[in-house]
A and B are shown apart, each in its own frame.
Chain A
Amino acid sequence: MSADTAETRHLAATATGGEWATMLWDDPVTLQSYVVHVLMRRFGHSRERAHELMAQAERDGRAAVAHGAREEQEMHVAGLHADGLVATLERMPGGAS
């Protein structure tokens, strides 16, 4: 990927402030109960919602556990990494432009 393209994308992302999502990825080793615990604690989800998201990640490989401004999602992703989980950020399709 050329530096041009990457920079353009970066500018586009920050200029529009488009919606970003924090994606939690499935990880077969990690305890389900631990994932639920982390989701409840980090995002204030109810136990039911946290369980739903964990199950979705298991089923689909990944699940969106939060969304909003890019900087906020970066914080969430870093926090999930620190908790030992695998997470990424993605642009949400059809985000505000």
Chain B
Amino acid sequence: MLANLGRQVLGLHRAVIDHRAALDDPVLERLYPSAYDGDEDAAEFRRLASPDIAADRIRTMTRMVVDLETALPAEGDERDDAELQMVLDAEGADAWLRSLGEVRLVLHVRTNQDRSQLTPGVTDEDIAQLRDVVDWLGFVQGTLLEALE
């Protein structure tokens, strides 16, 4: 599930690089916020900085997604996903920290959006489950941070 979510977030950043991004998407507003009070300065900053930030995010998110997909049990393996063990080096840990936080942020924004802005068919139960994922991601991120200290 986390790998799947990661891949979806990757799509968002690719859209930023390709200038296909929906400018009024609250997720993009949160991930690429305004750097200046003034509209012109803010627009200029966004224009120049966003592609680099997006490229950086694609690198770090891809790292986490690849780590996850590599560690997934092969078809027919009976092991529970929840028991996956990951060994991360310092660089990997940093990538995971950022990526976990990013997926969490995206879900947080989405689950707080007006239902009419989301894909049709999303139920209250879906939202509740995604909110649980937000909490779980916070727990995982916190645990990883503790392990790094």
Interface residue ranges, A against B (CB under 8 Å):
1, 6, 9-10, 29-31, 33-34, 37, 74, 77-78, 81-84, 86-90
Contact = CB atoms under 8 A, between A and B. Distances in A.
Interface in B19-75: 30-41, 45, 49, 52-53, 56-57
B142 interface: yes
B41 A31 contact: no
A87 B36 CA distance: 9
Nearest to A91: B37
A82 B142 CA distance: 19
Given A74-B45, A78-B53, A81-B53, A89 B36 contact: yes
Nearest to B137: A31
A34 B35 contact: no
> Interface centre among A10, A29, A30, by most B CB within 10 Å?
A29
Nearest to B141: A31
Q: Main secondary structure on chain B at its contact with chain A?
A: helix
Nearest to A33: B145
Contact of B105 (A29, A82, A87): A29
Q: Which of A6, A82, A89 has the most chain B CB atoms inside 10 A of its CB?
A: A82
A78 B52 contact: yes
B33 A84 contact: no
Contacts, number: 68
Contacts of A30: 101, 105
Interface of B: 30-41, 45, 49, 52-53, 56-57, 97-98, 101-102, 104-105, 108, 138, 141-142, 145-146, 148
Contacts of A10: 40-41
Nearest to A28: B108
A1 B34 CA distance: 17
A86 B145 CA distance: 20
A29 B31 CA distance: 13
A43 to B, nearest CB: 16
A34 B101 contact: yes
Contacts of B30: 86
A89 B35 CA distance: 6
A74 B35 contact: yes
B35 A33 contact: no
Given A31-B138, A31-B145, A84 B102 contact: yes
B116 to A, nearest CB: 22
